Amino acid sequence: MSRPHVAIELSAEERDTLSMWVRSGKTERRMVQRAQTILMCAEGACWSVICARTGLSRTNSLKWQRRFQEERLDGLKDLPRSGKPAKYTALEKVRVTATSCTRPPDGCTGWSQRRLAEVTGVSKSTVNRILNQASIKPHKVDYWCGKSPDPEFEAKQAAIIGLYIDPPENALVLAVDEKSQIQALDRSQPELPLREGNPKRLTATYTRHGTVCLLAALSVHHGQVDTRCIDKHTHSEFLSFLKSIYRKYPRKHLHVICDNYSAHKHTAITDWVAKRRRLTLHFTPTYASWLNQVEIWFGIFSRDVLKGGVWHSKQELIKQIVTYIDNYNKTRAKPFQWTYTGKPLVA
């Protein structure tokens, strides 16, 4: 029987790589065949055995033996092919991408792939392919926090972050805010419960049994939450809430962080706070209420309680809120971890 015309010598690294390709279950079959061919050539196997084992013809086996001798492992890869001639020129692709970045003249806010195809004269699938290649997503909108116009942004931010990181001795830092217009929604038909293969399902029609406003004060360094459910949020309710918190912690200096809502800055509140030596209000910079950590807790609350909720009355909603907060304080309350390590934000 005939043997390979030229003996192949493999380095240890090449042998390990070829063996790994052969053993791996994720390697393409063609690469396995080529690797087997080279390994068997290195062992001195005859062509009939190589062809029977790999399934390649003798011509193909000779081809990969020659390619490996010339380029080693890189020679076993397929050469780039010219492929089918491009149907659309680079200029036409630029026209599609440029059009997708403009505002449609028909009054729409953004382009759909169908309208782009109609305007540019190419197929919808081609529009999809061109936009994917250019990483353009006309349907997607991202939001970002704009620069605060507050001239005291840096000072206010530094004061609040300082309270988070290094609070004064014998002080209690409270992040206070309200979640207004919580609707007690009841569905027109009973919900279909979650089961295998189907999510929980609710009817699109509903009955509104009123709204609830939730006032919350998060103890930043302990994680406990003090709350109060009220019918509406005015300066009177907020002042009453502050007074209850003030009485609850008689031996602590309270640093209360809140946003710039008008009810928080009412004259009745500022006058009352001015007479209290154990209470200091800190207002977040304009358009920067995200500095208030209670917003994080409101996100958790909305996900756990409000999403997909059904209540037959306003009292039922209030009862569920009270039960949730009581359990949260007993089993889950803990400080949020400070993870930001970059430079402080500046105006």
342 found inside a domain: no
Please tell me whether residues 241 and 106 are part of one structural domain: no
pLDDT tens, position by position, 187-196: 888 888 888 8
Q: What is the pLDDT of residue 345?
A: 53
Last residue of a domain, one of 31, 50, 76: 76
The residues near 20 (Cβ < 8 Å, ≥ 6 apart) are none
pLDDT at 343: 63
Residues 6+ apart with CB under 8 A from 60: none
* 55 and 203 assigned to the same domain: no
Instruction: Point out the residues of the chain with pLDDT beneath 50.
Output: 1, 347
303 and 168 in a single domain? The answer is yes
Asked whether residue 164 falls in the same domain as residue 305, the answer is yes
What the block records as the tokens of 29 is 């079959």
Residue 173 and residue 286 share a domain: yes
Q: Are residues 102 and 209 in the same domain?
A: no
Number of domains in the chain: 3
168-173: long-range contacts (C-beta < 8 A, 24 or more apart)? 168/253, 168/255, 170/251, 170/252, 170/253, 171/252, 171/253, 171/254, 171/255, 172/219, 172/221, 172/249, 172/252, 172/253, 172/254, 172/255, 173/219, 173/220, 173/221, 173/255, 173/257
Does residue 83 belong to any structural domain of this protein? Answer: no
Task: Determine the longest span between alpha carbons in the chain, in angstroms.
Answer: 107
Residue in the structure block whose two tokens are 């209420």 = 289
Alpha-carbon radius of gyration of the chain? 34
Q: Which ranges of 150-266 does DSSP label H, i.e. alpha helix?
A: 153-165, 235-248
- Are the C-beta atoms of residues 316 and 184 closer than 8 Å to each other? yes
Please tell me the pTM assigned to this model.
Answer: 0.66
Any domain includes 145 = no
Is position 179 within any domain?
yes
Q: What is the pLDDT of residues 302-316, one digit of tens each?
A: 999 999 889 999 999
For the chain, the first-to-last Cα distance in angstroms comes to: 82
CB 27 within 8 A of CB 57: no
Please state the separation of Cα 262 from the chain's center in Å. Answer: 32
With residue 311 as reference, give the H or E element that holds it.
Answer: none
Instruction: Determine, yes or no, domain membership for 338.
Output: no
pLDDT digits (tens, 9 = 90+) for 150-178: 889 989 989 999 999 889 998 999 999 99
> Residue 183, SS3?
strand
Taking the C-alpha atoms of residue 230 and residue 214, their distance in angstroms, rounded to an integer, is: 6
Residue 192 falls inside a structural domain? yes
Residues 196 and 281 in one domain: yes
Contact call for residues 47 and 3 (beta carbons, < 8 A): yes
pLDDT of 334: 94
pLDDT at 164: 92
Contact 34, 55 (CB under 8 A): no
Judgement on whether residues 253 and 315 belong to the same structural domain of the protein: yes
The answer on 282 and 187 residing in a single domain is yes
Parent domain of 123? 90-133
Length of the chain: 347
Pair (22, 59) in one structural domain: yes
Q: What is the domain-level CATH number for residue 244?
A: 3.30.420.10
- Whether 44 maps to a domain, the answer reads yes
Q: In terms of domains, do 198 and 114 share one?
A: no
Domain presence at residue 244: yes
Residues 242 and 324 in one domain: yes
